[in-house]
Amino acid sequence: MVRITSEQIALWSKIGPRAVYGLAVQQLVEKNDLVIALSADLGNSSGLDRLKKSRPDRFINVGIAEQSLIGFSAGLANEGFIPFASTFAPFATMRAAEQIRMNLGYMEMNVKVVGLGSGLAMGFLGNSHYGLEDIAIMRTIPGITILSPADCTEVVKCVQYASELCGPTYLRLTGVPDNPIVYTEDYEFEIGRAISMCEGDDLAIIATGSMVSHALNASKIMSNFGMSVKVYNFHTIKPLDEVTLSEIGKNFTFIATIEEHSVIGGLGTSVAQFYSTQPDRPNVSIIGLPDNFGPTGNYQFLLNYHELQAEQLAVRIMDSYRKSQNLVENLDKS
């Protein structure tokens, strides 16, 4: 297990999730001969430049060929290796979707697919490079674990735990360098087990990836308005932590989900789908990216445009919450 210090946390935050992914894989390779990193010509963008030089026997560039990336990785996995295959999120999950379905889904090959720069992180590179739909696609393929780390420290955790998990995994990286720090020290992490980040009684926020930090900041803003908000980090989107969701359903009448992903098919949809079968059903407000190809610009501009910054989230959630409470009151009166 990697020892986590405050200096490392600061450094990781500064260099961002992609570079941290590369470092984490490098550390794995040094400890485990079965780990091998692959990319479809995005080794440097995966932070793997050092590994390429220091361990050329543990890095393979298959060329700009994502379908081959997945099929080839599956072949390695079939023989006992633990391949980590990284490329930008839409290229991994859409160009090679059927290879993932056949090899990771149908044949359950132990491949770790890594979607770089998901959500809006690719900024000026535009919608061609954004990860708007990757969760939706991956979660419909049976058997694939989906991890979505909240900050760079959690990227390290996810890489480590994914390597120990025997089964196909999609690791979704969101956020950019100078990434907000969610975890200031080491903590308990378990795949499939959501983490309660702060306590509150009025409503709960279920966030994933880059949005955990924004959700925490939003909860602080809301507390200034007298609201008590509980925040959860759902670093695992599949399998969904139904135990925690059941508890949330018993304790809250309103929840908001926040993700840097289309509002169709992502975390929010998963949560709402779960509650649709439950006796205790809170109102669910799904916050994410709209069902269109929006404008492009730098990352902060995009978060702002989509009203995903903490202040905007606080206003949106309080507004939805009040509406839901009014609805309840009106229903009670009638």
Partner 1 sequence: MTDAQLTSMALGIRKKILVMSLRSDSASHLGGGLSLVEILTCLYGKVMNYKRDDPFWISRDRFILSKGHGVLAYFAALNYVGMISDNALNTFMKDGSSLIAHPILNLELGIESSNGSLGQGLSFGAGMAKAVKMKNSNQSVFVLMGDGECNEGSVWEAAQVSAQLALDNLITIIDANGLQSDGEVANGGNPEQLKAKFQSFGWNSVLVDGHDISALSRELTKPRKPNQPLCIVARTTKGKGVSFMENNNAWHHARLTKTNFDLAMTELSQLAHG
- Complex with partner 1: residue 75 or 167, whichever CB lies closer: 75
Per CB under 8 A, does 98 bind partner 1?
yes
Active site residue 66: yes
How many CA atoms lie within 13 Å of 179's alpha carbon, on the beta-carbon side?
32
- Complex with partner 1: residue 70 or 162, whichever CB lies closer: 70
Count of H helices and E strands in the chain? 12, 12
Kindly state the smallest distance separating residue 196's Cβ from partner 1, in Å.
40
- Tell me, residue by residue from 23 to 62, as one string, x for binding to partner 1 by CB under 8 A and - for no binding: -------------x--------------------x--x-x
Length, in residues, of the chain:
334
Please give the torsion angle defined by the CA atoms of residues 170, 309, 328 and 245, in that order, rounded to the nearest 10 degrees. 20
From the list 73, 148, 262, 312, which residue makes contact with partner 1 (rule: CB under 8 A)?
Answer: 73
- How many residues bind to partner 1 according to rule CB under 8 A? 27
Q: 3-state DSSP call for residue 46? A: helix
Burial environment of residue 12 by CB neighbours within 10 A (0 to 12, 13 to 18, 19 or more)? buried
- Complex with partner 1: residue 76 or 317, whichever CB lies closer: 76
β-partners of residue 257 are: 206, 286
Q: Of 281, 292, 232, whose CA–CA distance to 257 is shortest?
A: 232
Out of 7, 30, 66, 79, the active site residue is 66
Q: Of 27, 57, 65, 61, whose CA–CA distance to 44 is shortest?
A: 61
Give the Cβ contact number of residue 80 at 10 Å: 8
From the list 5, 44, 54, 78, which residue makes contact with partner 1 (rule: CB under 8 A)?
Answer: 78
Segment contacting partner 1 by CB under 8 A, of 96-104, 208-216, 271-279, 319-327: 96-104
Per CB under 8 A, does 106 bind partner 1?
yes
Per CB under 8 A, does 68 bind partner 1?
yes
Interacting residues with partner 1 (CB under 8 A): 36, 57, 60, 62-63, 65, 67-68, 70-81, 83, 98-99, 102-103, 106-107
Q: Which residues are catalytic?
A: 66
